């Protein structure tokens, strides 16, 4: 959906010297490189989803509990949502370059502080660095490039935002293997062994810990069994004794793992690893690997995000790609205006804002719910082993990322309101029938489809905000709506856990979610009706050229008092909008034009050098 808003780039910044600089530079920049810079920022901060690679190393290094370690990630996601809301105005006021650099400072510094927390073994410092400082950087970095991309891609809003937010989804796919490599390389070096030996040993050690934990969970009588007992049983060829203590499905998974453990324990090359596993040197080496990793990636992301932010700038006022401009000039493409040009504070007073918030909260909460239940549900519904179910869960992140670019791009054709409506129609049926699917292939098809829509909801959101409220303060409005993410991140897992405790069935949980999606569908339909009615009220769009100190209507839907086209007529110089446009400022207000009362919005157009060339008018007839 094309938008005139691509031609009125955040006019609240008129007179801001930083903004004027971005206008002159924007004309020579390549919008695809702008998009690539945005992806660079989002891939950097999207690595937060690789947090799980630190869980076991932190446990092995310090013996911290899983819940204490998990607080770090929860804090990061919470501060992501909150900082996006609070700092949205900062992003709009200071522009993407400065905001991107601030995000880089918070995220990079947060990782460096996290490095110190691990170095000193103080988890509260880890929470402060990664969770609080890093989380603030995540929130600012998430919204920084989005509104700028919308303005560079007035012809492909969904594609533009989908590209950036896809980067956030795929950040973990890049970050996780890099993190593992750094931690393994440093730890192996500290222990004086090859990385291959360390990787082999730690893999078997972690498998042994997992098997022992499962034995303790499922057998109260085995709570005194320790790692030494397990190692003795395995090396003494008493594997069946161990397997007998596990439920059937877990035993099926554990069987090959115990064989691998036996091979590892009896491999003389791994003897140095097993001899050091309970020593302070072993724990210190793992801690050094984690600390060094945080330091290296913190500095690396700082450089990448600074470089990316230094290139990002807003486009010149009135800019549109050559192909779109030619299509508009020839009449082949009709400019479809945004419904309004609202400030963030005005948007939060409107019903559509809360419609978006409710839809996002439901989509995210239920999406988190399916991520939370996917593994046990796959084991219960289609009989997968825990290992097989883990592989299914691993594929979910790929479809999450693909859904971000796919659905956001598709929304350019289908329309944002229709895209969300389609999401909720499909998800009602998908959530209702998923627990009863017994086909392994069909189960995965439906599950992965749900994940594409979970990711697609994030990526389509900025373009939807632009359609409803314009891009004047899109970043700030986006930040406000993302509080739904913060709330869903806090309450989503709790909702799932409590529903399961109350019902004892994941099937019942997903059926309840299907009902919740029915409510989201109703909200989406109301949003669609609102959009249609608002479009019908939007009866006037005009493009002016500036010539001899007059603004002359060259394209317009306005009719004069005689009912004829108002093309080639001039803007009344007594109209207060005239003085504002001469100062290259936007103007909002009410005016009677050709005998009809309108809510009006005027925006100046300039060339690459900042010279006034014309204006755009959007009027809603009252």
Q: 605 lies in a domain?
A: yes
Q: 219 lies in a domain?
A: no
Stretch among 361-365, 469-473, 601-605 having the lowest mean pLDDT: 469-473
Q: 463 lies in a domain?
A: yes
Please tell me which residue, 578 or 11, carries the higher pLDDT value. 578
Please indicate, yes or no, whether residues 380 and 485 belong to a single structural domain of this protein. yes
Compute, in degrees rounded to 10, the torsion defined by CA atoms 241, 242, 246, 251. Answer: -100
pTM given for the model: 0.74
Give the pLDDT confidence score for residue 21 in this predicted structure: 43
Structural domain span for residue 557: 540-621
Q: 28 lies in a domain?
A: no
- 93 CB-near residues (< 8 Å, 6+ apart): 13, 16
Please indicate, yes or no, whether residues 589 and 471 belong to a single structural domain of this protein. no
CATH code of 351's domain: 1.20.1250.20
Mean pLDDT of the 246-264 span? 87
Please tell me which residue, 474 or 58, carries the higher pLDDT value. 58
- What are the tokens at 103? 């995000």
Q: Highest-confidence range of 51-55, 84-88, 396-400, 429-433, by mean pLDDT?
A: 429-433
* Residue 481's pLDDT band (cuts 50, 70, 90): very high
Stretch among 82-96, 329-343, 436-450 having the lowest mean pLDDT: 329-343
Please indicate, yes or no, whether residues 501 and 549 belong to a single structural domain of this protein. no
Q: 472 lies in a domain?
A: yes
Please tell me which residue, 9 or 224, carries the higher pLDDT value. 224
Please tell me which residue, 355 or 436, carries the higher pLDDT value. 355
Please indicate, yes or no, whether residues 408 and 484 belong to a single structural domain of this protein. yes
Give the pLDDT confidence score for residue 539 in this predicted structure: 64
Q: 317 lies in a domain?
A: no
**Chain mean position to CA 52:** 17
Mean pLDDT of the 296-309 span? 96
Give the pLDDT confidence score for residue 379 in this predicted structure: 72
| CA dihedral sign of residues 567, 568, 572, 575 | positive
Please indicate, yes or no, whether residues 382 and 518 belong to a single structural domain of this protein. yes
- What are the tokens at 81? 């949502």
Please indicate, yes or no, whether residues 614 and 469 belong to a single structural domain of this protein. no
Q: Is 224 helix (H, G, I), strand (E, B) or coil?
A: coil
* Residue 115's pLDDT band (cuts 50, 70, 90): very high
Among 537, 561, 582, give the residue marking a domain's end: 537
Mean pLDDT of the 296-302 span? 97
Give the pLDDT confidence score for residue 3 in this predicted structure: 34
Mean pLDDT of the 24-53 span? 82
Q: 205 lies in a domain?
A: no
Mean pLDDT of the 588-594 span? 83
Give the pLDDT confidence score for residue 28 in this predicted structure: 59
Give the pLDDT confidence score for residue 9 in this predicted structure: 32
Stretch among 39-43, 320-324, 582-586 having the lowest mean pLDDT: 320-324
Q: Is 312 helix (H, G, I), strand (E, B) or coil?
A: coil
Average pLDDT, the chain: 85
Please indicate, yes or no, whether residues 530 and 559 belong to a single structural domain of this protein. no
CATH code of 555's domain: 3.30.450.20
- Using one digit for the tens of pLDDT, what is the confidence trace for 190-211? 999 998 999 889 888 888 888 8
Q: 152 lies in a domain?
A: no
pLDDT greater than 50 at residue 35: yes
Q: How many domains does the chain have?
A: 2
* Residue 92's pLDDT band (cuts 50, 70, 90): confident
Please tell me which residue, 9 or 142, carries the higher pLDDT value. 142
Question: Would you say how long the chain is, in residues?
Answer: 622
- Using one digit for the tens of pLDDT, what is the confidence trace for 370-423? 877 787 788 767 777 666 777 787 788 789 889 998 998 999 889 899 999 999
Mean pLDDT of the 280-301 span? 96
Mean pLDDT of the 237-261 span? 87
Give the pLDDT confidence score for residue 23 in this predicted structure: 44
Give the pLDDT confidence score for residue 24 in this predicted structure: 44
Please indicate, yes or no, whether residues 523 and 551 belong to a single structural domain of this protein. no
Please indicate, yes or no, whether residues 586 and 522 belong to a single structural domain of this protein. no
Give the pLDDT confidence score for residue 15 in this predicted structure: 36
Please indicate, yes or no, whether residues 497 and 544 belong to a single structural domain of this protein. no
pLDDT greater than 80 at residue 513: yes
* Residue 13's pLDDT band (cuts 50, 70, 90): very low
β-bridge pairing 550-556 and 540-547 = antiparallel
pLDDT greater than 60 at residue 5: no
Please indicate, yes or no, whether residues 589 and 533 belong to a single structural domain of this protein. no
**Residue 618: which of 3, 156, 150 has the closest Cα?**
3
Give the pLDDT confidence score for residue 335 in this predicted structure: 61
Contact 165, 408 (CB under 8 A): yes
- Using one digit for the tens of pLDDT, what is the confidence trace for 494-504? 777 778 777 76
Give the pLDDT confidence score for residue 453 in this predicted structure: 95
Give the pLDDT confidence score for residue 392 in this predicted structure: 80
The pair phi, psi for residue 569, each rounded to 5°, is: -85, 160
Give the pLDDT confidence score for residue 290 in this predicted structure: 97
Please indicate, yes or no, whether residues 515 and 558 belong to a single structural domain of this protein. no
Give the pLDDT confidence score for residue 10 in this predicted structure: 34
Mean pLDDT of the 274-291 span? 94
Mean pLDDT of the 420-441 span? 93
Among 537, 552, 582, give the residue marking a domain's end: 537
Please compute Rg for the chain using Cα positions: 28
* Residue 491's pLDDT band (cuts 50, 70, 90): confident
Alpha carbon distance 31, 243 (integer Å): 59
Among 503, 537, 571, give the residue marking a domain's end: 537
Give the pLDDT confidence score for residue 116 in this predicted structure: 97
Give the pLDDT confidence score for residue 324 in this predicted structure: 78
DSSP structural state of residue 67: H
DSSP string, 435-466: GG---HHHHHHHHHHHHHHHHHHHHHHHHHHH
């Amino acid at each position: 959906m094309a938008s005139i808003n691509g031609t009125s780039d955040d006019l609240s910044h008129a007179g801001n010297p930083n903004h004027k600089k971005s206008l002159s530079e924007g004309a020579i920049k390549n919008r695809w490189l702008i998009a690539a810079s945005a992806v660079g920022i989002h891939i950097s901060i999207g690595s937060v989803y690789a947090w799980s690679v630190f869980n076991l190393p932190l446990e092995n290094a310090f013996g911290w509990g899983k819940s204490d370690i998990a607080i770090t990630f929860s804090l990061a996601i919470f501060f992501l949502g909150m900082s996006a809301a609070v700092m949205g105005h900062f992003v709009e006021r200071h522009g993407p370059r400065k905001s991107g650099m601030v995000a880089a400072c918070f995220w990079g510094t947060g990782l460096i502080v996290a490095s110190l927390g691990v170095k000193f073994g103080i988890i509260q410092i880890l929470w402060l660095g990664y969770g609080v400082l890093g989380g603030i950087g995540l929130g600012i970095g998430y919204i920084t490039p989005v509104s700028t991309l919308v303005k560079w891609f007035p012809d492909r809003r969904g594609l533009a935002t989908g590209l950036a937010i896809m980067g956030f989804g795929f950040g973990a796919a890049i970050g996780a293997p890099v993190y593992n490599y750094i931690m393994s390389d440093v730890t192996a070096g500290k222990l004086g062994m090859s990385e291959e030996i360390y990787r082999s040993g730690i893999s078997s050690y972690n498998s042994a810990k997992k098997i022992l934990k499962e034995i303790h969970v499922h057998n109260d009588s085995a709570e005194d069994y320790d790692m030494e007992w397990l190692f003795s049983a395995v090396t003494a060829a008493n594997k069946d004794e161990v397997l007998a203590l596990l439920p059937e499905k877990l035993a099926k998974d554990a069987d090959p793992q115990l064989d691998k453990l036996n091979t590892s324990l009896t491999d003389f090359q791994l003897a140095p690893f097993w001899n050091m596993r309970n020593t302070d040197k072993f724990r210190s080496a793992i801690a050094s690997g984690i600390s060094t990793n945080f330091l290296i990636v913190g500095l690396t992301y700082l450089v990448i995000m600074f470089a990316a932010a230094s290139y990002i700038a807003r486009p010149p006022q009135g800019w549109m790609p050559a192909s779109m401009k030619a299509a508009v000039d020839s009449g082949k493409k009709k400019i479809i205006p945004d419904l309004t040009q609202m400030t963030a504070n005005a948007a939060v007073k409107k019903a559509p804002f809360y419609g978006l918030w409710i839809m996002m909260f439901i989509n995210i909460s239920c999406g988190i719910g399916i991520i939370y239940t996917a593994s046990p549900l796959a084991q219960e519904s289609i009989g997968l082993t825990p290992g097989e179910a883990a592989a299914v869960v691993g594929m979910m992140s790929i479809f999450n990322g693909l859904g971000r670019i796919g659905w956001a791009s598709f929304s350019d054709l289908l329309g944002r309101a229709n895209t969300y409506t389609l999401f909720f129609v499909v998800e009602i049926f998908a959530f209702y029938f998923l627990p009863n699917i017994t086909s392994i292939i069909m189960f995965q098809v439906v599950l992965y489809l749900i994940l594409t829509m979970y990711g697609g909801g994030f990526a389509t959101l900025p373009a939807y905000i632009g359609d409803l409220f314009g891009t004047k303060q899109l970043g700030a409005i986006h930040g406000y709506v993302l509080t739904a993410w913060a709330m869903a991140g806090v309450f989503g897992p709790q909702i799932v856990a409590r529903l399961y405790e109350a019902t004892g069935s994941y099937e019942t949980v997903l059926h309840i979610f299907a009902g919740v999606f029915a409510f989201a569908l109703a909200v989406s339909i109301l949003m669609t009706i609102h959009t249609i009615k608002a479009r019908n009220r939007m009866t006037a769009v005009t493009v002016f050229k500036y010539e001899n100190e007059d603004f002359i209507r060259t394209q317009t839907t306005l009719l004069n008092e005689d009912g004829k086209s108002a093309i080639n007529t001039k803007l009344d110089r007594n109209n207060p909008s005239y003085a504002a446009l001469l100062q290259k400022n936007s103007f909002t207000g009410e005016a009677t034009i050709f005998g009809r009362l309108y809510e009006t919005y005027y925006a100046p157009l300039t060339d690459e050098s900042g010279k006034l060339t014309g204006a755009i008018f959007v009027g809603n007839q009252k």
